[in-house]
A = this chain, B = another copy of it.
Amino acid sequence: MSKSKINVGNFFEDFRIGQILRHAAPRTVTVGEVALYTALYLPRFAVQSSKAFAQAIGYQEAPIDDMLVFHLVLGKTVPDVSLNALANLGYADFKFLIPVYPGDTLDAVSEVIGLKENSNRETGVVYVRTTGKNQRGETVLSYARWVMVKKRDKDAPVGPAIVPDLPKAVPPSELGQAVPKLNVAAYDKALAGSPFFWGDYEVGEKIDHIDGMTVEEAEHMLATRLYQNNSKVHFNQYYESQGRFGKRIIYGGHVISMARALSFNGLENVFHISAVNGGKHVNPLFAGGTIFAWTEVLDKAEIPGRTDIGALRLRLVATKDKPCAEFPLTGPGGKPDSAVLLDLDYWAVLPR
């Protein structure tokens, strides 16, 4: 009787192609979340930090940080999609489509777009397309994500493998949708902290963001709860002490947000993450580790129809306990450097 009321999460054999998962816990995001996000990561991008700055260039209000929007949307999907996941495998076709402002309410829906059992029959890969919407039903964020999920029963039959065809990168024509037409003349570079606009960055350029930030248990748990992400591995030392690592694993999104905030030093005017082309959590992080980050400019693009903003395709690499003056990425034998936590490929926009 009682067991039936508990959500123990879906297992691989519970998913069906085309299945629509309406996720629980709609959330009104407010200046309270914004303040906590600042306290957790030290972001300093002027557009998100100042209502006056944002309004001067054409926003209705200071928009909510893109990654905070992402974490809130992702958090809702956890109970239905990844409570029994062993690994977060990838993201693709990940686009921010409208700005989110304090007072907006977010909810999320996912559609199962791919299923592929692994050869050991104990796990399978679940592909979902998740859509975050605001209280007017407008899509604010859309992304494909795939995770490795346990089977409840190894012998449970599953359907044929279906792997969706996902783009390797979001095309420039789809960038900048969440940015209103900017009044660039009103964009105050000194207040924003840097003279460098789109034209000042070159493909191949690498930037060591120099600073590092140590993460404490209380911090990553506050963050992950703020996102209403109830993934078990982040919170329960009683269980994790008996687990794979002996300690709580920090939510990978915490590393993304910290690396993004560290990247302010060198990317001060790169105020908006427009799309994510792909990303990998290369190694787990635990409390006590210090995050460093560096960026490589992979590509530059004009955005069709936009003369106010341009796009940079950036690789953001975060490391643990390893400064980034030498841009660590691969170690001996071409394997990833063991200090690398994150390797993220995204499109960002900044004024031209």
Chain A positions near chain B (C-beta within 8 angstroms): 1-2, 5-8, 22, 24-28, 30-36, 38-42, 44, 46, 49-53, 62, 79, 103, 105, 107, 135, 190-194, 196, 200, 202, 205-214, 216-219, 221-223, 225-226, 228, 230, 232, 235-239, 248, 265-268, 288, 290, 292, 321, 323
Contacts and interface: CB of A to CB of B under 8 A. Distances in A.
Contacts of A266: 2, 5-6
A236 B290 contact: yes
Contact of A49 (B8, B28, B214): B28
Contact of A39 (B46, B103, B223): B223
15 contacts: A5-B196, A7-B193, A22-B191, A25-B193, A26-B50, A26-B191, A30-B32, A30-B34, A39-B223, A42-B228, A44-B228, A44-B230, A51-B103, A222-B222, A238-B290
A68 to B, nearest CB: 11
Copies in the complex: 3
A237 B288 contact: yes
A266 B202 CA distance: 54
Nearest to A225: B42
A296 to B, nearest CB: 9
Contacts of A25: 44, 46, 49-50, 191-193
A225 B40 contact: yes
Contact of A1 (B24, B31, B205): B205
Contact of A26 (B53, B107, B135): B53
A73 to B, nearest CB: 14
What's the dominant secondary structure at chain A's contact region? mixed
Contacts of A27: 49-50
Nearest to A135: B52
Most buried by B among A1, A2, A53, A292: A2
Given A26-B49, A34-B32, A52-B28, A211 B236 contact: yes
Contacts of A44: 24-25, 228, 230
A320 to B, nearest CB: 9
A209 B62 CA distance: 39
A173 to B, nearest CB: 28
A210 B213 CA distance: 33
- For the complex of A and B, the 10 pairs showing the least CB-CB separation, nearest first, are A32-B35, A24-B193, A26-B50, A238-B290, A218-B218, A30-B31, A42-B225, A52-B105, A214-B237, A39-B226
A39 B222 contact: yes
A35 B228 contact: no
Contact of A6 (B39, B190, B207): B207
A39 B225 contact: yes
Most buried by B among A8, A27, A323: A27
B53 A105 contact: yes
